[in-house]
């Protein structure tokens, strides 16, 4: 959107009404979802149960050290979740649900404002705002105590803040972007790559944005760097080794490079042998990847089938489930068996699972099938209308980085996710916080295509009319 349009009072009033309308609709729909339709307090199991347990521990005992289980996941989600437990008691699941609903609701106006600042086509922000409002996968995530909802909110706020700094040179926006970026990093540390890409963007366009100076860069960088330093200290305090941020990264990387569906850790060799004799994949300290199980059941020869490198759906060992040395050795054996080409295929499958084959979790869990059909519908909508245009949008934004660095920041968020999904694994659940960026880029590409088509029709109509008719007109 051009600077002239930003300065028009009518445009300002229009944006204000759209912002208020989208914000109110988002607030109502998200609160109705988390309080009546899908209260997250009714679905405290698996990952959600772990987040709730840790949040309650933090609320009651505060920060402790020497508890290795606390290093299993990054600390951001359970820290945010601990706030209502600390304020209202350890059973304040309704208050926690409201917090999740508010963060999910905030994402809608944030996405709209991001489109206002990054698109130069009049109708795009409104289309993006309505699309994100109606985007059921993110609404559905709000009904579970998972990292997706807080990351959706704070990553969008970070991106919007960085775009505002590029355009306006506001130190206030730089401070907000840095603080929100620190929260986003604490929730999902893999977002660190986005900050590196944002810095690269500034280096490339720094002559065009002389208003972005060292104080702005420091305001943006210091909070995430402090969050990183705390994360490294916390990890060492809980595990006794480092560097690291979360031990589940060890297991996730092994699964991403060996394509095992299940990881099982046992305390004693006798327990492992008993499990092998019974071919039991559900005992021990067990972690399963539901998206891999879907792809594992695909017929032989399917290009996106998961085929465990070690020959069995489960990798079993004696030791702690996140032990880095054990996982390093397992991965070494997988690399030997697959070779470079095999690892390239695994990376391709990992990324494709983000868009195809997979179904949204935890909706796909047994007993929750009634919530699955809408997410399956949106999976098809994404494939048909968002996937390919968003990839085109990434290419367009990066190719115009010098002219439109703000749009490149939107593209970098998607690139960040795609790289992480390629290395580890992709799922619809992990992808959904990045969907607003894909929607924005896709709508931009669709709008440019429509404008090009209309302009071409006008040119053809003018050519068919002939010079005499054109002069009369």
Q: Which residues, in sequence order, are CB contacts of 226 under 8 Å at separation 6+?
A: 182
pLDDT digits (tens, 9 = 90+) for 102-139: 999 999 999 999 999 999 999 999 999 999 999 999 99
Range of the structural domain that residue 47 is part of: 3-239+394-418+431-454
Of 258 and 290, the one with more pLDDT: 258
- The phi, psi pair for 263, rounded to 5°, reads -120, 130
The residues pairing with 285 across neighbouring beta strands, listed in sequence order, are 265
Task: Say if residue 6's pLDDT is above 80.
Answer: no
Residue 10: what pLDDT?
74
Count of domains forming the chain: 1
Judge contact between 138 and 433, C-beta under 8 A: yes
Task: Say if residue 401's pLDDT is above 60.
Answer: yes
Instruction: Tell me whether residue 303 is in a domain.
Output: no
Residue 300: what pLDDT?
83
pLDDT tier at 62 (50, 70, 90 boundaries)?
confident
Instruction: Tell me whether residue 471 is in a domain.
Output: no
Task: Say if residue 471's pLDDT is above 80.
Answer: no
Secondary structure (3-state) at 269: helix
Residue 439: what pLDDT?
98
pLDDT tier at 469 (50, 70, 90 boundaries)?
low
pLDDT digits (tens, 9 = 90+) for 308-343: 999 999 999 999 999 999 999 999 999 999 999 999
CA atoms within 13 A on the CB side of 384: 6
The residues pairing with 314 across neighbouring beta strands, listed in sequence order, are 262
Instruction: Tell me whether residue 295 is in a domain.
Output: no
Q: Which residues, in sequence order, are CB contacts of 94 under 8 Å at separation 6+?
A: 35, 39, 41
| E strand or H helix that includes residue 288 | strand 285-288
Instruction: Tell me whether residue 46 is in a domain.
Output: yes
Distance (Å, whole) CA 430 – CA 134: 19
Instruction: Tell me whether residue 281 is in a domain.
Output: no
Judge contact between 282 and 293, C-beta under 8 A: no
pLDDT tier at 462 (50, 70, 90 boundaries)?
confident
Task: Say if residue 473's pLDDT is above 70.
Answer: no
Instruction: Tell me whether residue 343 is in a domain.
Output: no
Instruction: Tell me whether residue 20 is in a domain.
Output: yes
Instruction: Tell me whether residue 174 is in a domain.
Output: yes
- pLDDT, the chain, mean: 93
CB < 8 Å & 24+ apart, contacts of 296-303 = 296/261, 298/357, 303/349
Residue 4: what pLDDT?
44
Q: Which two tokens stand for residue 240?
A: 């006794």
Percent of the chain with pLDDT over 70: 96
For residues 411-423, give the mean pLDDT.
97
Distance (Å, whole) CA 374 – CA 378: 6
Tokens 């409201």 sit on residue: 98
Of 89 and 62, the one with more pLDDT: 89
pTM of the model: 0.94
Of 333 and 5, the one with more pLDDT: 333
For residues 264-281, give the mean pLDDT.
95
Tokens 């900050």 sit on residue: 195
pLDDT digits (tens, 9 = 90+) for 160-206: 999 999 999 999 999 999 999 999 999 999 999 999 999 999 999 99
pLDDT tier at 61 (50, 70, 90 boundaries)?
confident
Q: Would you list the DSSP string of 102-160?
A: HHHHHHHHHHHHHHHHH--STTHHHHHHHHHHT-HHHHHHTTS-SSHHHHHHHHHHHHH
pLDDT digits (tens, 9 = 90+) for 10-43: 778 889 999 999 999 999 999 999 999 999 999 9
């Amino acid at each position: 959107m051009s600077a002239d349009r930003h300065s028009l009072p009518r445009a300002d009033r229009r944006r204000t009404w759209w912002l208020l309308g989208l914000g109110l609709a988002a607030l109502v729909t998200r609160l109705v979802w988390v309080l009546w339709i899908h209260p997250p307090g009714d679905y405290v199991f698996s990952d959600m149960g772990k987040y709730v347990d840790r949040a309650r521990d933090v609320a009651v005992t505060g920060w402790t050290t020497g508890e290795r289980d606390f290093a299993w996941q990054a600390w951001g989600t359970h820290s945010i979740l601990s706030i209502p437990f600390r304020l209202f008691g350890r059973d304040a699941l309704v208050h926690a649900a409201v917090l999740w609903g508010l963060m999910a609701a905030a994402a809608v106006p944030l996405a709209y404002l991001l489109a206002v600042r990054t698109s130069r086509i009049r109708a795009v922000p409104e289309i993006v705002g309505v699309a994100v409002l109606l985007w059921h996968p993110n609404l559905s995530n709000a009904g579970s105590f998972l990292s997706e909802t807080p990351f959706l909110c704070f990553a969008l706020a970070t991106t919007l803040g960085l775009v505002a700094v590029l355009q306006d040179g506001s130190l206030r926006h730089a401070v907000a972007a840095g603080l929100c970026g620190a929260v986003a990093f604490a929730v999902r540390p893999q977002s660190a790559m986005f900050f590196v890409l944002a810095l690269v963007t500034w280096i490339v366009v720094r002559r065009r944005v002389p208003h972005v100076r060292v104080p702005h860069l420091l305001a943006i960088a210091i909070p995430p760097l402090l969050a990183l330093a705390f994360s490294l200290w916390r990890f060492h305090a809980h595990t006794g080794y480092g560097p690291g941020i979360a031990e589940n990264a060890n297991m996730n990387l092994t699964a991403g490079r060996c394509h095992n569906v299940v990881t099982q850790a046992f305390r004693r060799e006798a327990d492992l042998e008993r499990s092998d004799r019974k071919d039991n994949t559900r005992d021990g300290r067990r972690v399963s990847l539901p998206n891999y199980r879907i792809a594992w059941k695909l017929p032989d020869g399917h290009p996106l089938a998961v085929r465990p490198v070690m020959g069995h759906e489960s990798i079993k060992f004696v030791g702690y489930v996140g032990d880095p040395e054990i996982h390093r050795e397992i991965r070494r054996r997988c690399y030997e068996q697959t070779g470079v080409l095999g690892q390239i295929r695994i990376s391709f499958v990992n990324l494709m699972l983000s868009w195809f084959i997979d179904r949204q979790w935890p909706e796909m869990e047994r007993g929750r099938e009634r919530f699955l059909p809408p997410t399956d519908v949106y999976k098809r909508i994404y494939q048909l209308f968002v996937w390919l245009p968003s990839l085109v949008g990434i290419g367009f934004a990066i190719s115009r980085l010098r002219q439109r660095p703000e749009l490149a920041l939107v593209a970098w968020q998607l690139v960040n996710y795609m790289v992480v999904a390629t290395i580890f694994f992709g799922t619809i659940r992990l992808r959904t916080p990045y969907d607003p960026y894909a929607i924005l880029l896709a709508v931009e590409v669709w709008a440019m295509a429509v404008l090009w088509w209309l302009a071409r029709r006008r040119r053809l109509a003018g050519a068919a009319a002939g010079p005499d008719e054109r002069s009369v007109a």
